[in-house]
Amino acid sequence: MSNISQRVSGRLPVRPAIPPMAYLLTACIAAIGSNSLVLGPIAPEVARSYGASVPSVMSAAGAFGLGTAAGALALARHIDRFGARLMLQAALLVLAVGLMASALSPSVPALTAAQLVTGLAAGVALPAIYTLAAAIAPAGRESETIGVVLTGWTLSMVVGVSLSAVLADYLDWRAVYGFVAAFALAALAALFRSDLRDHPAPHSAPNPFGALNVAGVKPLLIACGAFMASFYGVYGYLGDHLNTALGRPVSASGLATLAYGLGFGCAVFLDGAIDRHGAKRVMPVAFLAVGAIYAVMALAAGSYLLLVAVVFVWGLANHCGLNALIMRLTALDPARRGAIMGLNSGVTYLALFAGTTGFGPLYAAYGIRAPALVAVVLMLLAVFVGRFAQSKR
Rg over CA atoms, the chain: 20
Reference 349, options 125, 133, 175; nearest CA is 125
Q: So what's the pLDDT on residue 243?
A: 81
Cβ proximity of 328 and 220 under 8 Å: yes
Element (H, E) at 362: helix 337-366
The one-letter amino acid code at 171 reads: L
Residue 19's nearest CA partner among 127, 111, 135, 114 is 135
Residue 372 to residue 300: CA distance in whole angstroms: 11
Residue type, 221: L
Cβ atoms < 10 Å from Cβ of 48? 13
Domain ranges of the chain: 20-196+209-386
Cα dihedral across residues 262, 143, 345, 391: positive or negative: negative
Angle between helices 59-75 and 108-136 (to 10 degrees): 40
pLDDT digits (tens, 9 = 90+) for 133-169: 877 777 667 667 777 887 787 777 777 666 776 777 7
pTM for the predicted model, two decimal places = 0.73
33 or 269: whose pLDDT is higher? 33
Q: Tell me the fold of 20-196+209-386.
A: Growth Hormone; Chain: A; (1.20.1250)
Residue 365, C-beta contacts closer than 8 angstroms, at least 6 positions apart: none
Written as one letter, the residue type at 319 is H
Q: Where are the alpha helices (DSSP H) in 278-336?
A: 279-299, 304-332
Most confident of the ranges 128-132, 276-280, 318-322: 318-322
- In angstroms, the CA 352 to CA 72 distance is 14
Write down the mean pLDDT value for the chain. 82
pLDDT bucket at 2, cuts 50 / 70 / 90: very low
